[in-house]
Structure 1
Amino acid sequence: MTPVRTLLLWCPDWPVVAAEIVDGIPATGPVAVLRANRVVACSERARAEGVRRGLRKREAQGRCPQVTVVEYDPDRDARAFEPVVAAVEAVVAGVEVLRPGACAVAVRGPARYLGGEEAAAERLVEHVAQSCVVESQVGIADGVFAAGLAARTGRIVPPGATPEFLAGLPVAALGRPALVDLLRRLGIRTLGEFAALPAGDVLARFGVDGALAHRLAAGRDHRPPAPRQPPADLTVTAGYDEPLDRVDAAAFAARALAEQFHDRLTAHGLACTRLGIEAVTAHGEELHRVWRHDGLLTAGAVADRVRWQLDGWLSGGHHRRGARPPRPSAGIVRLRLVPDGLVAQVGLQPGLWGESGAERERAHRALSRVQGILGPDAVVTAVLGGGRSPAEQVRLVPWGDERLPARSDVPPWPGRLPPPAPALVLPSPLAATVRDAAGQLVGVSARLQLTAAPADLTVGTAAPAEIVGWAGPWPVDERWWAPAEASRRARFQVCLADGTALLLAVAAGQWRVEAIYD
């Protein structure tokens, strides 16, 4: 399917701007928005002082002592963004909300009506600035994903040039930390390198979410190739005898309707990527908005977006940066959820802590409690980095600490083992003996050549095991310039007759078993 030419309007640092709109916190000063004690957004002044996303609260305050700390509030962000969406809708039709701070629209119609893509972009930015006193940037490209990246620099990518535009960007632009980390460890640094992989292999290795990301990296829209209207029975509607005119009552109703909506999609093996929210008031007013999401909307994600939208509608009126859309003249008597974009959910697998944020939060509290009882080092997670041996490439980090590798994983690492990595790295290497077919000890010469072909291996007091295959050596000559600290050894991979594969290392004539392959 040919990607849809898309215009995306992006408001930089929206959580900071929303805090100014709703709470009156000046965005011109140093402001940091925190979620789970980490910075998720910061103002331009805070960035100038060294504050960055991902920093802990204490580190951010250390870099900028005068920073104003604001707690992350998605309801506030969505409520403050509703006037911006309404301002865009006053110029163009068919707006899709991606998230608070970003919305998109097919550019073909506005470009024809307003005199071209550049003219449409300028008109939208100007209208949003005048109506809402909010700064924004526009990006235009083939597809929503590319348009979002283009909006970061206010760029208009020519038609057909989106793959070239994306090819040089880092894989971090995908916005999927787990996938990005894995791709980097596999040596894939740019979207172009990721897009060059065969689609079938990507699906088999990375699953459905990885396949969606692969399509994005190649500049292809991830909607189904044959778009269709969803079956009527997938739409859920609820009527209310008592009109919903309070946000808390509407949020309660939204939760039940979202769960019903999600269950109905799941029963058909489907998941939603675009959600249409429709409401009718007691006076017959009709309200409609489309929310879009790059991933797959869970029941909790659907409920959040419905709650945000209802909050925006029911909290109409005046705010600090201009006039909001008028509040409906009556409460909501009918609410309808429409799956506007569907993908197959076959093969989806939840993460280690499940699908919902609540489950991840419970896991975090449980692990933190174990640390409180047994100490910080009682719960650790592994972080991969650079190094020549498997043991050097892994660093154990206490739960909750910043996950930084001990060494950079940027090559080259002379003497590093080729993949695959061992399944088990022994904490203490085991002494071993390697002999040839004549029963003589096998050694390594100064030129790193084996003195004879290895035939059997003895580990400790165990019986000798036959070696049926081997590879190597991978030499390591470290700190040769400091004789007192120098270390010289060679590694070999061996396969035993019983199918066991081991990683051996020999130094000063002594063989040791360092790791075991799966």
Structure 2
Amino acid sequence: MTVRTLVVWCPDWPVTAALSTAGLDQQVPAAVFAANRVVACSAAARAEGVRRGDRRRTAQGRCPELVVFEEDLERDARVFEPVAAAVERLATGIEVVRPGLVALPVRGPVGYFGSEQAVAERLIDQVAGEQGVECQVGIADGLYAATLAARTGLVVPAGGSAEFLAPLGIAELDQPAERRGPERAALVDLLRRLGLRTLGAFAALTERDVASRFGADGVCAHRLARGAEERPPSRRRPPDDLGVTQTPDPPLDRVDAAAFAARALAESLHDKLAAVGLACTRLGVHARTEHGEELGRVWRCAEPLTPTGIADRVRWQLDGWLRAEDRPTAGLVRLWLVPEEVVDATALQLGLWHGGAEDPGTGAERAGRALVRVQGLLGPEGVFTGVLGGGRGPSDRVRAVPWGEQRLPSADPDAPWPGRLPAPSPATVPAEPVAVEVLDDSAAPVGVTGRHVLTGAPAQVVLGGGPPRAVLAWAGPWSAEERWWERERRRSRLQVVLDDAEQTALLLVREDKRWTVEGIYD
């Protein structure tokens, strides 16, 4: 059963927060960048052609007067705290999903104001009147549907979330602000290539088929597409003794001291939950001042929180309290964290790098030290990491870099590469080329003409002098002429699927009038 949910959404919040901090007018064209790409832009910038995902040079070329800011999550959370407080003064029980978006069960406010439409109007007036911030309200069954409804200020009728979601594009499963990682983006790309271009088409599949083909993340995405909650309703309530408390001495009144306390509390809470096999998905952050003031806020998270994720949210919240205009009248003498909702810890599966650059921590440091030790045993060329760069084929694009050296691509990956092999890339690239013959129905060799056309339809493939193997399907060719040192290099690529028990898929490349195996697909 899904909960009737109201979402208050402030569009382009990173830009709004950045302009507010800089003291600039909200109507100027501005954009926030991370890794040299636009992650959010103002309406004025969009009117000039700036879009999310644009490179900085492209964005500034389209809008020369663009005001540029770097991504700062602490700034976003700090400036958003007064907005969240304004919403809470009208409707209690709010949860901060991320800076710029809060959610709350709609049942309580409706009982007081009379209707969902009245609640939405009062909240919009409240935020605009107190904070001067534009916002939109969406109401639907479940957080996901309500969040999408907020984009158009829509109140979805009860029981109508699935119908509302059905015509929306499949890309809505990968919300950039949710930071779900590359797995969700890869899932969306795969669904699109399979012809499932809307949420309704994906929702029409059975959950059993989705689980067998797409795994756990696919099941979560499938539940969202159907208008259900991402996690089943039988979520475990945490025992009362899982909260952690700290009594700072002296009282906290500085942001740097609060950041140190946040990390210690986060690690303590994570260790306590891990000991009983749980992970937190809704985190309550609470504090008490010397004058007895009580502060509290609940953060809702799409994914189970890592120690760094917990520490970030605690730090953001303390930063918002301590730097707000109506900041507490005294220092914080007690801090405590409460896991408001938990899931099995198997939902939190950390990789070797403990989240890598997005979640730096002791796990990444330990892995780095281990690789240095291995490198000491095997020599500098004993440990390599791959760097993806520009090129047309898989062997061209990946550069192996010894551990510890600067990880720079051999060529610009964003430059145009005519004749580039389309996705997906092969899983295995042979270290040495494997000779192969491609034959048509009459057993005549298949070549490529000067106009980049095959001389015949591939019907058989002979690998390394073995018996001919029938071709089940093929695609291509993709041809390109390249300058390799001082000579012209002309290569054509062809994909074939062999009619054998494994249905082996190969990437073949033709150069100097001979075919070789360049890659093998899983």
| TM-score (norm. length: structure 2) | 0.76
Contact kept in structure 1, 2:478 and 2:494, CA below 8 Å: no
Distance 2:78 2:470 in 1: 64
- Cα distance in 2 for residues equivalent to 1:172 and 1:458: 40
Summarize deviations over 1:416-454 as a string: whole Å, max 9, x none: 9xx997543569975445899xxx96668999596xxx7
Range with greater deviation from structure 2 (470-479 or 338-347): 470-479
2:301 alignment partner, SS class: strand
Partners of 1:75 and 1:505 in 2: how far apart?
50
8 Å Cα contact 1:247/1:314 also seen in 2: yes
Could you say if the C-alpha distance between residues 11 and 516 of structure 1 is closer, same or farther in structure 2, counting changes exceeding 3 Å?
A: closer
Partner amino acid, structure 2, of 1:268 = V
Deviation at 1:512, TM superposition (A): 5.6
Equivalent-residue separation in structure 2 for 1:488 and 1:402 (angstroms) = 20
Alignment-derived partner of residue 140 in structure 1: 139
Q: Is the 8 A contact 1:475 1:489 kept in 2?
A: no
For 1:114-513, what aligned pairs fall within 5 Å after superposition?
114-174=113-173, 175=175, 176=180, 178=182, 179-186=184-191, 187=193, 188-203=196-211, 205-317=213-325, 326-346=326-346, 348-351=348-351, 353-355=353-355, 357-359=358-360, 380-381=387-388, 399=409, 422-424=426-428, 430-432=434-436, 457=462, 459=464, 464-466=465-467, 470-472=470-472, 474=474, 493-494=497-498, 513=517
Contact 2:91 2:109 in 1 (8 A): yes
Once the two structures are superposed, what CA deviation does each residue of 1:307-364 show, in whole Å capped at 9, x if it has no partner? Answer: 11112222232xxxxxxxx32222111111111121222164335743252549x99x
Q: Secondary structure at the match of 1:241?
A: coil
Partner of 2:61: 62
CA distance in structure 1 between the aligned counterparts of 2:35 and 2:75, rounded to whole angstroms: 17
Q: Is the 8 A contact 1:171 1:180 kept in 2?
A: no
SS at match of 2:153: coil
Task: Tell me the amino acid that sits aligned with residue 163 of structure 1.
Answer: A
Q: Is the 8 A contact 2:14 2:40 kept in 1?
A: yes
Change beyond 3 A, Cα 1:144–1:498: closer
Structure 1: any 5+ residue segments left out of the alignment? 318-325, 367-377, 385-389, 480-486
- Cα distance 1:329–1:498, how it changes in 2: closer, same or farther (>3 A)? closer
* Structure 2 unmatched ranges of 5 or more: 369-384, 400-407, 447-453, 480-490
- SS of equivalent residue, structure 2 residue 28: coil
Counting only pairs closer than 5 Å after superposition, residues 70-149 of structure 1 correspond to structure 2 as 70-149=69-148
Mapped partners of 1:204, 1:497: distance in 2:
21
CA contact (8 A) 1:255 1:303 kept: yes
Whole-Å Cα distance in 2 between the matches of residues 428 and 150 of structure 1? 54
Alignment TM-score, normalising by the size of structure 1: 0.76
CA contact (8 A) 2:287 2:332 kept: yes
RMSD: 4.2
What letter matches 1:184 in structure 2? D
Determine if the alignment matches structure 1 residue 26 to structure 2 residue 37: no
Instruction: Decide which structure has the larger Cα Rg and report it.
Output: 1
Deviation string 1:464-483 (CA, Å, 9 cap, x unpaired) is 4345x63435476899xxxx
Mapped to 1, the partners of 2:249 and 2:338 lie a distance apart of 22
Q: What displacement does 1:499 show?
A: 11
1:277-323 CA distance string (max 9 Å, x none): 11112222211111111122211111111111112222232xxxxxx
Task: Kindly provide the CA deviation profile for residues 340-394 of structure 1, in whole angstroms up to 9, marking residues without a partner as x.
Answer: 121222164335743252549x99xx9xxxxxxxxxxx9742799xxxxx95999
The answer as to whether partners of 2:497 and 2:503 remain within 8 angstroms in 1 is: no
Tell whether the 8 Å contact from 2:238 to 2:342 is kept in structure 1 after alignment.
Answer: yes
CA distance in 1, matches of 2:168, 2:413: 25
